[in-house]
Amino acid sequence: MKKNTTILFFLLCIRASAQVNDSPALFLDTFRAAIFQADSSQPVPLPGEEISKAEKIFLETISSTSLLKKIRLKDYHFQLGPHLNLAGEKEVWINCFCSGIIEYFPDWKHRLFSRDMVDDGGQCFFEMTVNLVHKTHYKFGMNGFG
């Protein structure tokens, strides 16, 4: 009985970690992700390798954040905003929202949509900024539950 319980626990742990990591190249999927320039007068390029780096930092953060461990990232859309911080380091603002709400925001690929534009919604709306130089994140925010 103890052996079966241990095996079941091990399988559940593998499944839980796979839920976050089973979505390779989320940010490269143009159906679910769009890139915006914060300052159109000085665009900050975001080539594929930096998109992948931002996604890796994002996924590591998601897997270590208890409120988000159980989300299914394939059910989200993403807006990415590359910019330079005051130290000249490249960062990416990542805005995440449930795919089910895009019918209310059909222009989400052409207009920035912030979690501040809606009341409540819980983990359907969250955002963070990742620093590509230091491989860190900050400004994590999630909407409250109604």
What digits encode the pLDDT tens for the residues 25-77?
Answer: 788 888 899 999 877 678 899 999 999 999 999 999 888 877 666 778 889 99
Domain encompassing residue 107: 2-142
pLDDT of residue 122: 63
Q: How far is residue 24's CA from residue 37's CA, in Å, rounded to a whole number? A: 24
Q: Are 101 and 126 in contact (CB under 8 A)?
A: no
Query: Rounded to 5 degrees, what are φ and ψ at 23?
Result: -120, 70
pTM of the model: 0.76
Query: 138 pairs with which residues across the strands?
Result: 129
Using CA atoms, how far residue 21 sits from 28, 49, 93, 118, in Å, is 15, 18, 20, 28
Number of domains forming the structure of the chain: 1
- The per-residue pLDDT for range 70-122, each reduced to its tens digit, is 778 889 999 999 999 999 999 999 998 888 888 888 888 988 876 556 655 56
